Amino acid sequence: MVQSPPIDNLTISQKTEFDRDRFDQSVMPTYGRFPIAIERGEGCRLWDTEGKEYLDFVAGIATCTLGHAHPALIAAVSEQIKKLHHVSNLYYIPEQGQLAEWLVNNSCMDKVFFCNSGAEANEAAIKLVRKYAHTVLDKVEQPIILTAKASFHGRTLATVTATGQEKYQKGFTPLPTGFAYVPYNDITAVENAIADLDEGTLSRVVGIMIEPLQGEGGVRPGDLEYFLKLRKICDENNILLVFDEVQVGVGRSGKLWGYEKLGVEPDILTSAKGLAGGIPIGAMLCKDSCAAFEPGNHASTFGGNPFVCASALAVLQTIETEGILHNVQARGEQLRVRLRAIAKKYPSLFTEVRGWGLINGIELRADIDLTSINLVKAAMEEGLLLAPAGTKVLRFVPPLIVSTAEVDEAVNILERAIAKVA
């Protein structure tokens, strides 16, 4: 077999020239893309088709847990693709069992359902809550799930309805029924909503789906007191508590799971993004007490196939054996200290810095014209990739392996970008 030469040894004429116009002719325009095309990556670095290097503090939007081209992930996917990549869930899949066992042993959960994405994991959680309401609770004909305003739970019809932001729902009516919204971190609003929505047993709140830290909603951590009271309310009213940990889970908070930051256990937990370090996988985990699914209730053709499970196991075992959670905690604190210094230096531009571990945001003042997109573009020109979290929050979600030097380099680049736009 003829081996392809390493990319570094290719001449410009050998590289495939990227044609943006041809791309746009064929690909559905569902994304507002920045005008660069990424060709390869290594560690926390990316290179575009023009050869420009970037420090990656987006990580596929909190997805590339081990960065790019990590040896552990390369070894796992290479070995598995040569062995077996896919079979149906009509059969037992050993790798799926190994991954489920690891997740159960390293969380407060008892059972796992595998799918392909965060939206699908949340969809499975929604179905499980409704199944529980219809089969375990007495005569709940119209189950209602509470979610938070400014939340984000996915793009399917059910999960976009669960998302408490109208901008994502516009143009997709009629939306499914059975959802209601409350402000985040406001326990009085939750109590009032339950009282208002419950009408005997026919219509009642049976689930609360919430992010321990709101990612797309502006990197807003949950208040400890709020979540403690939320757990108490759920226990007293036989309501299932669902944590959407699609973005904050798998080590990004500095703990393996976001619920560990709060000391509050949910009944159901969803995971995706960082679970296999960029290989598409989703998982819905639950406790035995609410594991109401039976054969035929839910399914996924690709969910939990040998390839994705081997990838996820490699990521999780690397987090476990290489002390990555300690790195997340240390680098996160380093980043927040540097960002707070920037906010103090530019009080006319920034209001506050917030976050956990390696999911952090710096918020722009509401009364200025500068937006997070302005800063993302300016940083990109300087060689740093960042992501917005709404129009006024700049988000920092680098790979969990990011180094001390790379954090300092990223903030130094950001300061140059700010100086230009300010």
Tokens of 215: 């990612």
Mean pLDDT of the chain: 95
Q: Is residue 1 included in any domain, yes or no? A: no
Q: Are residues 389 and 290 in the same domain?
A: no
Q: Residue 186 — pLDDT band, cuts 50, 70, 90?
A: very high
Q: Are residues 251 and 276 in the same domain?
A: yes
pLDDT of residue 16: 59
Q: Are residues 239 and 343 in the same domain?
A: no
Q: Are residues 400 and 301 in the same domain?
A: no
Residue 244 a catalytic site member = yes
Q: Is residue 370 included in any domain, yes or no? A: yes
For residues 141 and 22, what is the distance between their CA atoms, to the nearest angstrom? 51
pLDDT of residue 200: 73
pLDDT of residue 202: 80
In the chain, the number of structural domains is: 2
Could you report the per-residue pLDDT of 70-85, keeping only the tens digit for each?
999 999 999 999 999 9
CATH code of the domain covering residue 406:
3.90.1150.10
Question: Looking at the predicted structure, is the pLDDT value of residue 187 above 70?
Answer: yes
- What integer is the mean pLDDT of 410-421? 96
Q: Are residues 59 and 144 in the same domain?
A: no
Q: Is residue 297 included in any domain, yes or no? A: yes
Q: Are residues 185 and 51 in the same domain?
A: no
Q: Residue 199 — pLDDT band, cuts 50, 70, 90?
A: confident
Q: Is residue 2 included in any domain, yes or no? A: no
Could you report the per-residue pLDDT of 154-180, keeping only the tens digit for each?
999 999 999 999 999 999 999 999 999
Catalytic residue among 57, 113, 152, 293: 152
Catalytic residue among 56, 244, 261, 350: 244
- End position of a domain, from candidates 321, 347, 365: 321
Q: Are residues 190 and 331 in the same domain?
A: no
Q: Is residue 163 included in any domain, yes or no? A: yes
pLDDT of residue 295: 95
Burial 355-392 (b: 16+ CB within 10 A, else e): bbbbbbbbbbeeeeebbbebbbebbbebbbbbbbbbeb
Q: Are residues 304 and 382 in the same domain?
A: no
Q: Are residues 110 and 239 in the same domain?
A: yes
Question: Looking at the predicted structure, is the pLDDT value of residue 10 above 50?
Answer: no
Question: Looking at the predicted structure, is the pLDDT value of residue 60 above 50?
Answer: yes
Query: Which residues have a Cβ under 8 Å from the Cβ of 213 and sit 6 or more positions away?
Result: 219, 220, 221, 222, 247, 248, 253, 258, 261, 355, 356, 359
Q: Is residue 299 included in any domain, yes or no? A: yes
pLDDT of residue 13: 36
Catalytic residue among 273, 293, 350, 396: 273
- End position of a domain, from candidates 305, 321, 337: 321
Residue in 252, 243, 212 with CA at minimum distance from that of residue 65? 252
Question: Looking at the predicted structure, is the pLDDT value of residue 6 above 60?
Answer: no
CATH code of the domain covering residue 177:
3.40.640.10
Q: Are residues 311 and 390 in the same domain?
A: no
Q: DSSP letter for 223, please.
A: P
Residue 152 a catalytic site member = yes
3-class SS of residue 268: strand
- What integer is the mean pLDDT of 178-201? 94
Question: Looking at the predicted structure, is the pLDDT value of residue 8 above 60?
Answer: no
Could you report the per-residue pLDDT of 352-369, keeping only the tens digit for each?
999 999 999 999 999 999
Q: Residue 91 — pLDDT band, cuts 50, 70, 90?
A: very high
Could you report the per-residue pLDDT of 229-261, keeping only the tens digit for each?
999 999 999 999 999 999 999 999 999 999 999
Q: Are residues 88 and 156 in the same domain?
A: yes
Q: Find the domain containing 151 and state its range.
A: 73-321
Residue in 184, 190, 242, 254 with CA at minimum distance from that of residue 216? 184
Q: Is residue 162 included in any domain, yes or no? A: yes
Q: Is residue 68 included in any domain, yes or no? A: no
Residue 45 CB neighbours (<10 A): 18
- Give me the torsion for CA of 335, 257, 151, 242, rounded to 10°: -170
3-class SS of residue 147: strand
Burial 260-293 (b: 16+ CB within 10 A, else e): bbbebbbbbbbbbbbbbbbbbbbbbbbbeebbbb
- End position of a domain, from candidates 321, 342, 365: 321
Q: Residue 12 — pLDDT band, cuts 50, 70, 90?
A: very low
Could you report the per-residue pLDDT of 260-296, keeping only the tens digit for each?
999 999 999 999 999 999 999 999 999 999 999 999 9
Q: Are residues 123 and 11 in the same domain?
A: no
Does residue 62 contact residue 275 with C-beta atoms inside 8 Å? no
Strand partners, 396: 360
pLDDT of residue 9: 41
Residue 235 a catalytic site member = no
